[in-house]
Structure 1
Amino acid sequence: MSNIREEAKKLREMWGGFRASRVLITANNYRVYDLLKDYQTARSVSEKLKIDLRATEILLDALTSLGLLKKSGDKYKNLPISNHLLTKESPYYQGDMIRHADYLWRNWSELDEVIKTGNPVQRARDYETFIRGMHNLATLKAKSVIKSIDLKGIKTALDLGGGPGTYSMEMAKMGIKVTLFDYPEAIRIAKKIIEEKNVKGINFISGDFIIDDIGSDYDLIFASQILHSYSEKDNILVLKKCKDALNNKGKVVIHEFYISEDRTRPVWGTLFSVNMLVNTTSGRTYTSKEIRKWLIDIGFKNIKERLLDDTVLIEGKIFQTLPTPLKRVTL
């Protein structure tokens, strides 16, 4: 019987997980965390936000139980996690991504129909929230990801489908001449973000990399989190364009969410594939083996792979690196 109880508890955590998510999202929508850098009563919060007092008390208690707030008497304030990630002025702010998650929530609510038809949900989204949400996520890992790439000899780089330009900025800070390629609306928002961060040395190309020219003679093409939105056919097309756009010593570096070869772990990678099912016509989380095969078939050499937490870097070069020849030693 104890095993049944444990199994039921695990199941309850799954079906009840939406509650914590919804509380986090709703509090973010009302900018609750920006008010709680110092202790405030529920009444003070309700009056400032013009929301119901009883509802505010219940919401703040729930946030406290989730480890986001601290309660002392009848007052509440942020715990460090909320100050670091949920307040607008923090350099690691994740609020835009959480607002985008609210959009995803509504799409995921139609998963039953998606599973039946195989067709994604068609719903307009706030594109600036999406792009800034991508920036939120990238700020947590951009520096370490770029440092994980061998940039020796790299003078020019293309950030393909670079969205907010977070990775472009990291490369530009290292003196690399970077070109950011994305849809016109993404470029418009990226320019705002890059100007806010006061980073110089980034060029821009607007277009659709499936059909438009992406430039040429790059030392590096960095493709982060774009392949999962497209079909295998489109990805092979894009990677062929990358090969053609590199100079004769260039390389492509792909950055994607990791999923095991049998597609069953980790949980984040498998659920992200469901997210692509809900929101794209042909996307999914691809295995490293699939991506490596595409690169090999296209003609890339020296394929390398490096696992980074829940993502993976896969590199392919235009040229073959030969082993260093042994030196003749005279005895």
Structure 2
Amino acid sequence: MNKEVMKFNSLWGGFRASRVILTANNLRVFENIGKGRTADDLASVLQTDPRATEILLDAVASLGLLRKSRGTYRLAPPAKRFLLPDSPWYQGDMLRHADTLWKNWSGLDEVVRTGRPNRAGTRDHDVFIKAMHNNAMMRARDVIRALDLRGVKKALDLGGGPGTYGIELAKKGISITLFDLPNTLEVAKDLIRRSGATGIAFRGGDFHIDDIGSGYDLALLSLVLHSHNRIENLALLNKVFNSLSSGGQIAIHEFKLNEDHASPVPGALFSVNMLVNTEEGRSYTPREMKDWLKRAGCGKTALKDLGDTVVVTGRKR
């Protein structure tokens, strides 16, 4: 089979690997495998069919998350790092959220026909917010390093979800206001308590209509704008601009999308995720975000490329 055929097959066949990993995570294979188990032993623990369990475990091993030796399965290093709940890099909640996305994405045909989102999967809000924490844990330090924090004493983490970015900012002695919906803040409070972070205040509400406070030296909007349309984003950035102190800055963190809107792959596919799951969301380009910042009143804007995401900043003159 030539390389072109193999590449094409991997494009349409990628769902199989995803489904195997999501199912293994749903069944809690990784946290129950301990120091090693046979398929029959694990099936007894999980109360699953032995034959089906063996086939699933073999597939997981083929993907590099398990190691199989003489009929015994053990965790491979990536599984230990990302799929054990006591790991600081745990991604299990993200995979549980992805299982909900799987159900929603399965309605993509109808979404494209109608332009309406598909919310077939029942979303557990706590799992969603913890999934956002899983995701942010992988990115937060790089994002915070990309910011100019000179003179920043008071910061707003707007739509900050689990507060992961706020935690990293608080470690630098910055006073943080975490703004999000009240039910989101309940999850965030527990995560922040467990992190040991201090200096974080909570403000509940809808940032489109409620007061977000004022006097901020920095306002961070991390992975917020992609859920909304252009008009809503410009209005929100105007509101955020007015909440800044003189010389304050807005920092937008979003998935990278080039000017052709068709690359790179993660940004283009994430736009589909927003198509499926929101009324009018999508991925946006740095040029669009810079334009909104300038129209909101910011002077010089700047861009930092973090790989699959970007940080776009603008300062209040």
Q: Name the TM tier (shorter chain).
A: over 0.9
Query: Does the 8 Å CA contact 1:260/1:266 hold for their aligned counterparts?
Result: yes
What are the Cα deviations for residues 73-131 of structure 1, in whole angstroms up to 9, with x where unaligned? 11010100000001111110000000000000000000000000000013441011110
Q: Which runs of 5+ in 1 are unaligned?
A: 320-331
Instruction: Give the TM-score normalised by the residue count of structure 2.
Output: 0.98
Correspondence for 2:68 among 71, 78, 99:
71
Matched, 1:29 2:29: no
Structure 1 vs Structure 2 CA RMSD? 1.0
Tell me the equivalent position of 1:296: 294
Which AA in structure 1 matches 2:71? D
Residue number in structure 2 paired with 1:322? none
8 Å contact kept, 1:223–1:255: yes
Structure 1 CA distance for aligned equivalents of residues 148 and 71 of structure 2: 53
Quick one: distance in 1 between partners of 2:234 and 2:211? Answer: 15
Where 2:98 maps in the other structure, the secondary structure is: helix
Q: Report the residue type matching 1:279 in the other structure.
A: N
Partners of 1:102 and 1:122 lie apart in 2 by 12
Correspondences of 1:51-200 after superposition (within 5 Å) = 51-123=48-120, 124-200=122-198
Task: Give the aligned residue type for 1:13.
Answer: S
- Per the alignment, residue 216 of structure 1 pairs with 214
Q: Distance in 1 between matches of 2:6 and 2:173?
A: 53
Matches within 5 A, 1:260-279: 260-279=258-277
Structure 1 CA distance, aligned partners of 2:215 and 2:234? 20
Q: SS of 1:63's equivalent?
A: helix
Per the TM alignment, residue 297 of structure 1 is displaced from its structure 2 partner at its CA by 1.7
With the length of structure 1 as denominator, give the TM-score of the two structures: 0.94
Whichever of the two has the greater Rg, that structure is 1
SS of 2:87's equivalent in the other structure is: coil
Q: CA deviation at 1:224?
A: 0.2
Alpha-carbon shift at residue 11 of structure 1 (Å): 1.9
Task: Using the TM superposition, name which of 96-105 and 143-152 deviates more.
Answer: 143-152
- CA–CA separation in structure 1 for the residues paired with 2:286 and 2:243: 23
Deviations 1:122-156 (A, max 9, x none): 34410111100000011112112112211011000
CA drift of 1:215 comes to 0.4
| Contact 1:114–1:278 (Cα < 8 Å) also in 2 | yes
Task: Show the 5 A alignment for 1:14-53.
Answer: 14-53=11-50
> Structure 1: which 4+ aligned runs deviate by more than 3 Å?
none
Question: Are the aligned partners of 1:156 and 1:219 in contact in 2 as well (CA < 8 Å)?
Answer: yes
Distance in structure 2 (CA, Å) of the matches to 1:149 and 1:241 = 21
- Indicate if the aligned counterparts of 2:142 and 2:306 stay in contact, CA closer than 8 A: no
Amino acid at match of 1:45: L
Q: Distance in 1 between matches of 2:142 and 2:233?
A: 25
Alpha carbons 1:37, 1:83 under 8 Å: kept: no
Q: Tell me the distance in 2 between the aligned counterparts of 1:268 and 1:143.
A: 20
Q: Which of 295, 309, 328 does residue 307 from structure 2 map onto?
A: 309
**Any idea what the Cα deviations from partners look like across 1:239-266, whole Å, max 9, x if unmatched?**
0001100011211000000011001111
Q: Which runs of 5+ in 2 are unaligned?
A: none
Question: Structure 1 stretch 289-298 or stretch 122-131: which is displaced more?
Answer: 122-131
For 1:62 and 1:120, the matched residues in 2 are separated by: 32
Query: Tell me, what secondary structure is at the counterpart of 1:16?
Result: helix
> Quick one: distance in 1 between partners of 2:58 and 2:296?
56
> How far apart are 1:197 and its partner, in Å?
1.5
- Measured after TM superposition, the shift of residue 309 of structure 1 is 1.2
Instruction: Give SS of 2:258's match.
Output: coil
Query: Structure 1: how far apart are the matches of 2:298 and 2:9?
Result: 47
1:158 partner SS: strand
